[in-house]
A = this chain, B = another copy of it.
């Protein structure tokens, strides 16, 4: 029987997404289940196994046709051992033998990767990267992560910390980061970073602004609210967005000058602000990008949304 199907799994702290794809990366079936993080996350792997087995049966897909499973996961992946550590949002407190357990439960081979790298592979393959061999990806969410593809392969580095673009320092002696350093991009361009900047800017701003009003009232302010107010013309909110775009443009230019990818793809929740943010980032980026880079690298928005993870994960099974 010809092997012609890929399974992609995107493990997250609230849901686990699954998809069955063709070798060309077209999604044929997709579904998701809630992530059960109770009992130290001990239900997660069995739930994944059951869900895959159940759906293969339901779709009457002979597992002989499945090339393999690829999976993106939070935490630090030991790709050789097939284990995961430090996935705190899954309540995994010890090293998890993910690969061995899922392979034993499904009878299929599994390739593991961290979630940001999986999303990067997805966008590189079927999204804004247009299947190019040189694609950099940056995701702006609760944190800021990255995945760098050069010569068609992910850059893992010597200890798996390749692509830590969220921890490139953009403001020496700036905001203290959870990593212990100061001024990391993550502290300015993540959802919480945007709000932090808004709070600081509001304190010094004396003009009238709806954003300032919200903050002064102690109302909950999210990065989405900041971007929405900026789009509506709020002056202070625009100052905040411009500062976020400055830091992003600066960091994206550093990535571009080192890797000269055909595209730097910006994804994640904060990037939902869309062209409004992208255009401003590109504008700042132009001042920091080397001339050859400025004419050959593009700053783009991610195109796959929530599917990037499962598609990228599936691509791992091809190799």
Contact = CB atoms under 8 A, between A and B. Distances in A.
Chain B CB within 10 A, most for which of A155, A169, A259, A292: A259
A181 B150 contact: no
Interface in A284-319: 287-293, 295-297
Contact of A150 (B155, B169, B257, B287): B155
B290 A181 contact: yes
Contacts of A258: 146, 148, 155, 162-165, 168, 254-255, 258-259
Complex copy number for this chain: 2
A257 B146 CA distance: 11
A71 to B, nearest CB: 21
A1 interface: no
A80 interface: no
A58 interface: no
A260 B159 contact: yes
A280 to B, nearest CB: 16
Contacts of A172: 250, 288
Interface in A130-163: 132, 134, 146, 148, 150-151, 153, 155-163
A169 B261 contact: no
Interface string A241-270: 000000000100111011111100000000
A287 B151 contact: no
A161 B291 CA distance: 9
A179 interface: yes
Chain B CB within 10 A, most for which of A151, A160, A288, A290: A290
Interface of A: 132, 134, 146, 148, 150-151, 153, 155-165, 167-169, 172, 179-182, 250, 253-255, 257-262, 287-293, 295-297
24 contacts: A134-B162, A148-B258, A150-B151, A150-B155, A150-B157, A150-B162, A151-B153, A158-B296, A159-B260, A159-B295, A159-B296, A161-B257, A161-B260, A161-B290, A161-B296, A162-B259, A164-B257, A164-B290, A165-B257, A168-B254, A168-B257, A172-B288, A181-B290, A182-B287
